[in-house]
Chain A
Protein backbone atom coordinates (compact mmCIF):
# COMPACT_ATOMS: atom_id res chain seq x y z
CA UNK A 1 0.00 0.00 0.00
CA UNK A 2 2.85 2.40 0.89
CA UNK A 3 6.44 1.66 -0.03
CA UNK A 4 9.39 3.94 0.63
CA UNK A 5 12.86 3.39 -0.78
CA UNK A 6 15.96 5.49 0.00
CA UNK A 7 13.87 8.54 0.85
CA UNK A 8 15.73 11.75 1.60
CA UNK A 9 14.46 15.26 2.09
CA UNK A 10 16.85 18.16 2.39
CA UNK A 11 16.16 21.80 3.18
CA UNK A 12 19.33 23.44 1.93
CA UNK A 13 22.16 21.42 3.46
CA UNK A 14 20.04 20.12 6.34
CA UNK A 15 18.69 16.59 6.04
CA UNK A 16 15.22 16.56 7.56
CA UNK A 17 14.25 13.06 6.49
CA UNK A 18 16.34 9.99 5.79
CA UNK A 19 14.41 6.72 5.53
CA UNK A 20 16.22 3.89 3.71
CA UNK A 21 13.20 1.59 3.64
CA UNK A 22 9.65 1.48 4.96
CA UNK A 23 6.71 -0.62 3.97
CA UNK A 24 3.18 -0.14 5.24
CA UNK A 25 0.66 -2.77 4.30
CA UNK A 26 -3.03 -2.38 3.64
CA UNK A 27 -5.11 -1.82 6.77
CA UNK A 28 -2.14 -1.05 9.00
CA UNK A 29 -2.49 1.83 11.44
CA UNK A 30 0.69 3.80 11.92
CA UNK A 31 1.28 6.29 14.69
CA UNK A 32 4.27 8.52 14.06
CA UNK A 33 5.84 9.93 17.19
CA UNK A 34 8.86 12.10 17.79
CA UNK A 35 9.88 15.53 19.01
CA UNK A 36 9.32 18.75 17.09
CA UNK A 37 11.36 18.82 13.92
CA UNK A 38 11.85 15.06 13.82
CA UNK A 39 10.36 14.86 10.32
CA UNK A 40 6.86 13.51 11.05
CA UNK A 41 4.97 16.24 9.19
CA UNK A 42 7.45 16.24 6.32
CA UNK A 43 6.95 12.50 5.88
CA UNK A 44 3.17 12.98 5.75
CA UNK A 45 3.50 15.83 3.26
CA UNK A 46 5.63 13.66 0.99
CA UNK A 47 3.17 10.76 1.26
CA UNK A 48 0.30 13.15 0.46
CA UNK A 49 2.20 14.55 -2.51
CA UNK A 50 2.10 18.15 -1.30
CA UNK A 51 5.88 18.18 -0.97
CA UNK A 52 8.50 16.49 -3.14
CA UNK A 53 11.31 14.39 -1.81
CA UNK A 54 14.89 15.30 -2.70
CA UNK A 55 15.88 11.70 -3.35
CA UNK A 56 14.27 8.27 -3.32
CA UNK A 57 11.02 6.67 -4.22
CA UNK A 58 7.58 6.73 -2.65
CA UNK A 59 4.93 4.37 -3.96
CA UNK A 60 1.34 4.55 -2.82
CA UNK A 61 -1.73 2.69 -3.96
CA UNK A 62 -5.28 3.93 -3.54
CA UNK A 63 -7.10 7.15 -2.81
CA UNK A 64 -5.29 9.32 -0.28
CA UNK A 65 -6.89 11.92 1.96
CA UNK A 66 -4.66 14.12 4.07
CA UNK A 67 -5.32 16.43 6.97
CA UNK A 68 -2.48 18.96 7.26
CA UNK A 69 -1.55 20.47 10.59
CA UNK A 70 -2.80 23.85 9.45
CA UNK A 71 -5.99 22.96 7.66
CA UNK A 72 -7.72 26.16 6.59
CA UNK A 73 -11.42 26.52 7.41
CA UNK A 74 -13.30 27.63 4.31
CA UNK A 75 -14.98 31.03 4.45
CA UNK A 76 -18.44 29.42 4.64
CA UNK A 77 -20.75 28.01 7.30
CA UNK A 78 -19.67 24.85 9.13
CA UNK A 79 -22.34 22.88 7.26
CA UNK A 80 -21.24 24.25 3.88
CA UNK A 81 -17.64 23.37 4.72
CA UNK A 82 -18.60 19.70 4.93
CA UNK A 83 -21.01 19.82 2.00
CA UNK A 84 -18.29 21.39 -0.18
CA UNK A 85 -16.13 18.30 0.35
CA UNK A 86 -18.85 15.80 -0.51
CA UNK A 87 -19.74 14.51 -3.93
CA UNK A 88 -22.80 12.76 -5.26
CA UNK A 89 -26.52 13.36 -5.11
CA UNK A 90 -27.73 16.38 -3.13
CA UNK A 91 -29.95 14.26 -0.88
CA UNK A 92 -27.14 11.82 -0.04
CA UNK A 93 -24.76 14.67 0.62
CA UNK A 94 -27.20 16.34 3.02
CA UNK A 95 -27.81 13.06 4.89
CA UNK A 96 -24.12 12.35 5.29
CA UNK A 97 -23.46 15.95 6.29
CA UNK A 98 -26.06 15.72 9.08
CA UNK A 99 -24.44 12.50 10.34
CA UNK A 100 -21.01 14.13 10.36
CA UNK A 101 -22.28 17.22 12.19
CA UNK A 102 -23.82 15.01 14.87
CA UNK A 103 -20.83 12.70 15.20
CA UNK A 104 -18.30 15.54 15.42
CA UNK A 105 -20.40 17.51 17.89
CA UNK A 106 -20.75 20.38 15.42
CA UNK A 107 -24.54 20.40 15.05
CA UNK A 108 -25.04 23.49 17.23
CA UNK A 109 -22.42 25.34 15.16
CA UNK A 110 -23.69 24.34 11.71
CA UNK A 111 -24.73 27.83 10.59
CA UNK A 112 -21.72 29.61 12.10
CA UNK A 113 -18.97 30.81 9.75
CA UNK A 114 -16.07 28.38 10.08
CA UNK A 115 -13.62 31.29 10.30
CA UNK A 116 -15.09 32.23 13.68
CA UNK A 117 -14.61 28.79 15.32
CA UNK A 118 -12.21 28.13 18.18
CA UNK A 119 -9.05 26.09 17.59
CA UNK A 120 -10.56 22.83 18.83
CA UNK A 121 -13.82 23.30 16.91
CA UNK A 122 -11.85 24.14 13.81
CA UNK A 123 -9.82 20.97 14.15
CA UNK A 124 -12.97 18.85 14.55
CA UNK A 125 -14.38 20.44 11.41
CA UNK A 126 -11.14 19.85 9.48
CA UNK A 127 -11.19 16.19 10.51
CA UNK A 128 -14.88 15.90 9.61
CA UNK A 129 -14.09 17.19 6.10
CA UNK A 130 -11.54 14.41 5.66
CA UNK A 131 -13.45 11.59 7.30
CA UNK A 132 -16.65 12.31 5.36
CA UNK A 133 -14.80 10.80 2.40
CA UNK A 134 -13.96 7.17 1.89
CA UNK A 135 -10.25 6.82 1.36
CA UNK A 136 -7.80 3.93 1.13
CA UNK A 137 -5.04 5.84 2.89
CA UNK A 138 -5.75 8.47 5.54
CA UNK A 139 -2.94 10.78 6.62
CA UNK A 140 -3.59 12.86 9.71
CA UNK A 141 -1.11 15.41 11.01
CA UNK A 142 -1.72 16.08 14.71
CA UNK A 143 -5.51 15.86 14.37
CA UNK A 144 -6.21 16.62 18.03
CA UNK A 145 -3.39 18.99 19.01
CA UNK A 146 -5.72 21.95 19.69
CA UNK A 147 -8.42 19.94 21.48
CA UNK A 148 -8.98 19.69 25.22
CA UNK A 149 -8.84 16.19 26.82
CA UNK A 150 -12.51 15.29 26.17
CA UNK A 151 -12.20 16.63 22.64
CA UNK A 152 -9.12 14.47 22.10
CA UNK A 153 -11.04 11.42 23.33
CA UNK A 154 -13.84 12.17 20.87
CA UNK A 155 -11.43 12.68 17.97
CA UNK A 156 -9.56 9.46 18.74
CA UNK A 157 -12.83 7.54 18.94
CA UNK A 158 -14.02 8.96 15.62
CA UNK A 159 -10.74 8.02 13.97
CA UNK A 160 -10.83 4.46 15.30
CA UNK A 161 -14.50 4.06 14.27
CA UNK A 162 -13.65 5.28 10.76
CA UNK A 163 -10.67 2.95 10.42
CA UNK A 164 -12.70 -0.01 11.68
CA UNK A 165 -15.57 0.75 9.30
CA UNK A 166 -13.54 1.40 6.17
CA UNK A 167 -10.50 -0.83 6.71
CA UNK A 168 -8.28 2.01 5.56
CA UNK A 169 -4.57 2.42 6.13
CA UNK A 170 -3.89 5.16 8.64
CA UNK A 171 -0.74 7.20 9.16
CA UNK A 172 -1.11 9.69 11.96
CA UNK A 173 1.29 11.91 13.85
CA UNK A 174 1.00 12.85 17.50
CA UNK A 175 3.19 14.52 20.05
CA UNK A 176 0.82 14.14 23.00
CA UNK A 177 1.32 10.39 23.28
CA UNK A 178 -2.43 9.86 22.89
CA UNK A 179 -3.70 7.94 19.93
CA UNK A 180 -6.81 6.00 18.88
CA UNK A 181 -7.37 2.46 20.08
CA UNK A 182 -6.79 0.42 16.97
CA UNK A 183 -5.93 -3.04 15.81
CA UNK A 184 -2.90 -3.57 13.57
CA UNK A 185 -1.26 -0.70 15.39
CA UNK A 186 2.33 0.14 14.64
CA UNK A 187 4.25 2.89 16.38
CA UNK A 188 7.14 4.45 14.54
CA UNK A 189 9.41 6.88 16.30
CA UNK A 190 11.36 9.44 14.33
CA UNK A 191 14.36 11.39 15.54
CA UNK A 192 16.20 13.90 13.35
CA UNK A 193 14.54 12.47 10.28
CA UNK A 194 15.50 8.86 10.99
CA UNK A 195 13.40 5.95 12.21
CA UNK A 196 14.74 4.99 15.62
CA UNK A 197 12.07 2.48 16.57
CA UNK A 198 9.31 0.58 14.81
CA UNK A 199 7.09 -1.52 17.04
CA UNK A 200 3.90 -3.42 16.40
CA UNK A 201 1.43 -3.34 19.27
CA UNK A 202 0.18 -6.81 20.18
CA UNK A 203 -2.86 -5.61 22.10
CA UNK A 204 -6.10 -6.54 20.44
CA UNK A 205 -8.82 -4.06 21.29
CA UNK A 206 -11.53 -6.30 19.88
CA UNK A 207 -10.74 -8.90 22.48
Chain B
Protein backbone atom coordinates (compact mmCIF):
# COMPACT_ATOMS: atom_id res chain seq x y z
CA UNK B 1 0.00 0.00 0.00
CA UNK B 2 2.88 2.30 0.93
CA UNK B 3 4.78 1.57 -2.25
CA UNK B 4 1.77 2.00 -4.51
CA UNK B 5 0.86 5.31 -2.72
CA UNK B 6 -2.75 5.51 -3.79
CA UNK B 7 -4.31 8.87 -4.50
CA UNK B 8 -6.00 9.19 -1.13
CA UNK B 9 -2.79 8.66 0.84
CA UNK B 10 -1.01 11.25 -1.29
CA UNK B 11 -3.87 13.71 -0.80
CA UNK B 12 -3.84 13.14 2.98
CA UNK B 13 -0.06 13.64 3.10
CA UNK B 14 -0.42 16.83 1.03
CA UNK B 15 -3.07 18.31 3.34
CA UNK B 16 -1.05 17.34 6.43
CA UNK B 17 2.12 18.95 5.13
CA UNK B 18 0.31 22.07 3.94
CA UNK B 19 -1.43 22.50 7.31
CA UNK B 20 1.71 21.83 9.35
CA UNK B 21 3.87 24.11 7.20
CA UNK B 22 1.50 27.07 7.43
CA UNK B 23 0.70 26.64 11.13
CA UNK B 24 4.42 26.32 11.99
CA UNK B 25 5.36 29.32 9.84
CA UNK B 26 2.60 31.57 11.19
CA UNK B 27 3.22 30.50 14.80
CA UNK B 28 6.95 31.17 14.45
CA UNK B 29 6.40 34.54 12.75
CA UNK B 30 4.15 35.61 15.64
CA UNK B 31 5.74 33.69 18.50
CA UNK B 32 9.44 34.30 17.95
CA UNK B 33 9.32 38.12 18.02
CA UNK B 34 7.00 37.95 21.05
CA UNK B 35 9.42 35.54 22.74
CA UNK B 36 12.26 38.01 22.17
CA UNK B 37 10.13 40.85 23.57
CA UNK B 38 9.41 38.76 26.66
CA UNK B 39 13.17 38.48 27.23
CA UNK B 40 14.45 41.83 26.08
CA UNK B 41 11.79 44.25 27.30
CA UNK B 42 10.47 45.11 30.70
CA UNK B 43 6.90 46.31 30.86
CA UNK B 44 3.96 46.36 33.20
CA UNK B 45 2.07 43.09 33.44
CA UNK B 46 4.96 41.01 32.07
CA UNK B 47 4.68 38.43 34.85
CA UNK B 48 0.94 38.04 34.29
CA UNK B 49 1.46 37.63 30.55
CA UNK B 50 4.14 35.01 31.20
CA UNK B 51 1.71 33.12 33.45
CA UNK B 52 -1.00 33.28 30.76
CA UNK B 53 1.43 31.99 28.12
CA UNK B 54 2.54 29.16 30.40
CA UNK B 55 -1.10 28.25 30.98
CA UNK B 56 -1.83 28.33 27.25
CA UNK B 57 1.12 26.00 26.67
CA UNK B 58 -0.88 23.32 28.42
CA UNK B 59 -4.12 24.13 26.61
CA UNK B 60 -5.80 20.82 25.74
CA UNK B 61 -6.13 20.51 21.93
CA UNK B 62 -9.84 19.68 22.15
CA UNK B 63 -10.45 22.89 24.10
CA UNK B 64 -8.53 24.88 21.47
CA UNK B 65 -10.59 23.13 18.81
CA UNK B 66 -13.81 23.95 20.63
CA UNK B 67 -12.88 27.65 20.98
CA UNK B 68 -12.04 27.95 17.28
CA UNK B 69 -15.16 25.97 16.37
CA UNK B 70 -17.35 28.37 18.37
CA UNK B 71 -15.62 31.35 16.76
CA UNK B 72 -16.10 30.10 13.21
CA UNK B 73 -19.44 28.32 13.52
CA UNK B 74 -22.26 29.74 11.41
CA UNK B 75 -23.56 32.04 14.18
CA UNK B 76 -20.18 32.65 15.80
CA UNK B 77 -18.36 36.03 15.68
CA UNK B 78 -16.28 34.91 12.68
CA UNK B 79 -18.96 32.74 11.12
CA UNK B 80 -19.40 35.10 8.18
CA UNK B 81 -16.04 33.95 6.81
CA UNK B 82 -17.53 30.50 6.19
CA UNK B 83 -14.22 28.87 7.05
CA UNK B 84 -15.37 26.02 9.28
CA UNK B 85 -14.30 22.58 8.03
CA UNK B 86 -11.50 23.98 5.88
CA UNK B 87 -7.74 23.57 6.08
CA UNK B 88 -7.46 27.31 6.85
CA UNK B 89 -9.44 27.02 10.08
CA UNK B 90 -7.38 23.96 11.02
CA UNK B 91 -4.30 26.19 10.68
CA UNK B 92 -5.95 28.78 12.97
CA UNK B 93 -6.64 26.13 15.63
CA UNK B 94 -3.08 24.87 15.41
CA UNK B 95 -1.66 28.37 15.70
CA UNK B 96 -3.66 28.83 18.91
CA UNK B 97 -2.00 25.71 20.26
CA UNK B 98 1.53 26.21 18.96
CA UNK B 99 2.14 29.97 19.31
CA UNK B 100 2.35 29.91 23.17
CA UNK B 101 4.85 27.05 22.91
CA UNK B 102 6.96 29.03 20.43
CA UNK B 103 6.81 32.20 22.62
CA UNK B 104 7.85 30.33 25.73
CA UNK B 105 10.64 28.31 24.09
CA UNK B 106 11.99 31.37 22.24
CA UNK B 107 12.01 33.35 25.47
CA UNK B 108 13.93 30.53 27.17
CA UNK B 109 16.45 30.29 24.33
CA UNK B 110 17.02 34.05 24.25
CA UNK B 111 17.41 34.40 28.00
CA UNK B 112 20.73 32.49 27.82
CA UNK B 113 23.21 35.39 27.55
CA UNK B 114 20.14 37.59 27.11
CA UNK B 115 21.19 40.19 29.65
CA UNK B 116 24.68 40.62 28.20
CA UNK B 117 23.36 40.71 24.64
CA UNK B 118 20.76 43.29 25.59
CA UNK B 119 23.42 45.38 27.30
CA UNK B 120 25.60 45.13 24.17
CA UNK B 121 22.71 46.15 21.92
CA UNK B 122 21.69 49.04 24.19
CA UNK B 123 25.30 50.18 24.43
CA UNK B 124 25.40 50.42 20.64
CA UNK B 125 22.06 52.28 20.64
CA UNK B 126 20.31 49.68 18.53
CA UNK B 127 16.60 50.27 18.00
CA UNK B 128 13.96 47.73 18.94
CA UNK B 129 13.78 46.09 15.51
CA UNK B 130 17.56 45.82 15.21
CA UNK B 131 17.79 44.37 18.73
CA UNK B 132 15.12 41.82 17.86
CA UNK B 133 16.92 40.83 14.66
CA UNK B 134 20.12 40.50 16.66
CA UNK B 135 18.48 38.22 19.25
CA UNK B 136 16.97 36.04 16.51
CA UNK B 137 20.15 35.76 14.44
CA UNK B 138 22.30 35.21 17.52
CA UNK B 139 20.16 32.25 18.56
CA UNK B 140 19.28 30.92 15.12
CA UNK B 141 20.63 27.42 15.79
CA UNK B 142 18.62 26.97 18.99
CA UNK B 143 15.60 28.56 17.32
CA UNK B 144 15.66 25.92 14.58
CA UNK B 145 14.91 23.40 17.36
CA UNK B 146 12.00 25.56 18.45
CA UNK B 147 10.71 25.47 14.88
CA UNK B 148 11.10 21.69 14.83
CA UNK B 149 9.19 21.33 18.07
CA UNK B 150 6.41 23.48 16.63
CA UNK B 151 6.30 21.39 13.47
CA UNK B 152 6.29 18.18 15.52
CA UNK B 153 3.40 19.40 17.61
CA UNK B 154 1.52 20.49 14.51
CA UNK B 155 1.92 17.28 12.51
CA UNK B 156 1.05 15.05 15.47
CA UNK B 157 -2.03 16.99 16.60
CA UNK B 158 -5.40 15.31 16.31
CA UNK B 159 -7.97 16.75 18.76
CA UNK B 160 -8.34 20.31 17.50
CA UNK B 161 -8.08 19.51 13.80
CA UNK B 162 -10.74 16.83 13.96
CA UNK B 163 -13.19 19.25 15.65
CA UNK B 164 -12.67 22.21 13.30
CA UNK B 165 -11.72 20.24 10.18
CA UNK B 166 -14.36 17.57 10.49
CA UNK B 167 -12.07 14.87 9.01
CA UNK B 168 -13.73 15.22 5.60
CA UNK B 169 -12.44 12.78 2.98
CA UNK B 170 -10.49 14.42 0.12
CA UNK B 171 -10.76 17.79 1.90
CA UNK B 172 -9.67 18.13 5.53
CA UNK B 173 -8.53 14.64 6.37
CA UNK B 174 -4.98 14.64 7.73
CA UNK B 175 -2.75 11.75 8.71
CA UNK B 176 -3.58 11.75 12.41
CA UNK B 177 -7.36 11.97 11.95
CA UNK B 178 -7.19 9.34 9.20
CA UNK B 179 -5.20 6.99 11.46
CA UNK B 180 -7.80 7.47 14.19
CA UNK B 181 -10.68 6.79 11.80
CA UNK B 182 -9.10 3.75 10.15
CA UNK B 183 -8.19 2.27 13.55
CA UNK B 184 -11.79 2.67 14.71
CA UNK B 185 -12.93 0.93 11.51
CA UNK B 186 -10.47 -1.90 12.12
CA UNK B 187 -8.57 -1.03 8.92
CA UNK B 188 -5.22 -1.44 10.59
CA UNK B 189 -3.26 -1.86 7.35
CA UNK B 190 -4.18 1.62 6.12
CA UNK B 191 -3.70 3.14 9.59
CA UNK B 192 -0.28 1.56 9.92
CA UNK B 193 0.75 2.72 6.44
CA UNK B 194 -0.13 6.29 7.38
CA UNK B 195 1.65 5.92 10.69
CA UNK B 196 4.83 4.85 8.90
CA UNK B 197 4.58 7.84 6.52
CA UNK B 198 4.12 10.14 9.53
CA UNK B 199 7.24 8.71 11.15
CA UNK B 200 9.25 9.03 7.92
CA UNK B 201 8.24 12.71 7.56
CA UNK B 202 9.17 13.45 11.20
CA UNK B 203 12.50 11.67 10.70
CA UNK B 204 13.20 13.60 7.46
CA UNK B 205 12.43 16.93 9.16
CA UNK B 206 14.74 16.00 12.03
CA UNK B 207 17.56 15.10 9.64
CA UNK B 208 17.06 18.36 7.75
CA UNK B 209 17.13 20.38 10.96
CA UNK B 210 20.26 18.68 12.25
CA UNK B 211 21.98 19.31 8.89
CA UNK B 212 21.03 22.99 9.07
CA UNK B 213 22.21 23.17 12.68
CA UNK B 214 25.56 21.58 11.84
CA UNK B 215 26.01 23.94 8.91
CA UNK B 216 25.24 26.88 11.20
CA UNK B 217 27.72 25.70 13.81
CA UNK B 218 30.44 25.28 11.18
Query: Residues on A close to B: CB < 8 A?
Result: 45, 48-50, 63-68, 70-72, 74-76, 84-85, 126, 129-130, 133, 139
Contacts and interface: CB of A to CB of B under 8 A. Distances in A.
A72 B137 CA distance: 13
Interface stretch (B15-23, B61-69, B80-88, B112-120): B112-120
A169 B134 CA distance: 28
Interface in B157-197: none
Interface in B83-125: 113, 116-120, 122-125
A64 B123 CA distance: 8
B118 A50 contact: yes
B124 A85 contact: yes
Given A71-B119, A84-B134, A139-B123, 16 more contacts: A48-B119, A50-B122, A63-B125, A64-B125, A65-B124, A65-B125, A66-B122, A66-B124, A68-B119, A71-B123, A72-B113, A72-B120, A75-B137, A76-B137, A126-B120, A130-B123
Contacts of B122: 48-50, 66
B163 to A, nearest CB: 42
A130 B123 CA distance: 8
Contact of B123 (A65, A75, A76, A84): A65
B138 interface: yes
B50 interface: no
A84 B133 CA distance: 11
Contacts of A130: 123-124
A14 to B, nearest CB: 20
Interface residues of B, number: 14
B140 interface: yes
B198 to A, nearest CB: 34
The 9 closest A-B pairs by CB, nearest first: A66-B123, A68-B119, A70-B116, A72-B120, A72-B117, A50-B119, A71-B120, A50-B122, A72-B116
Contacts of B125: 63-65, 133
Interface of B: 113, 116-120, 122-125, 134, 137-138, 140
Contacts of A72: 113, 116-117, 120, 138
A52 to B, nearest CB: 10
B140 A75 contact: yes
B23 to A, nearest CB: 28
A66 B125 CA distance: 8
Contacts of A49: 122
A129 B124 CA distance: 8
A66 B113 CA distance: 18
Contact of B120 (A45, A68, A75): A68
A22 B181 CA distance: 76
23 contacts: A48-B123, A49-B122, A50-B118, A50-B123, A63-B125, A65-B123, A65-B125, A66-B122, A66-B123, A67-B123, A68-B116, A68-B123, A70-B119, A71-B123, A72-B113, A72-B117, A72-B120, A75-B137, A85-B124, A126-B120, A130-B123, A133-B124, A139-B123
A49 B125 CA distance: 11
Contacts of A70: 116, 119
A65 B126 CA distance: 10
Nearest to A76: B137
B32 to A, nearest CB: 16
Contacts of A84: 134
Nearest to A113: B218
A70 B120 CA distance: 8
Given A64-B125, A85-B124, A129-B124, A74 B137 contact: yes
Contacts of B118: 50
A65 B123 CA distance: 5
B61 to A, nearest CB: 35
Nearest to B134: A74
Nearest to B216: A75
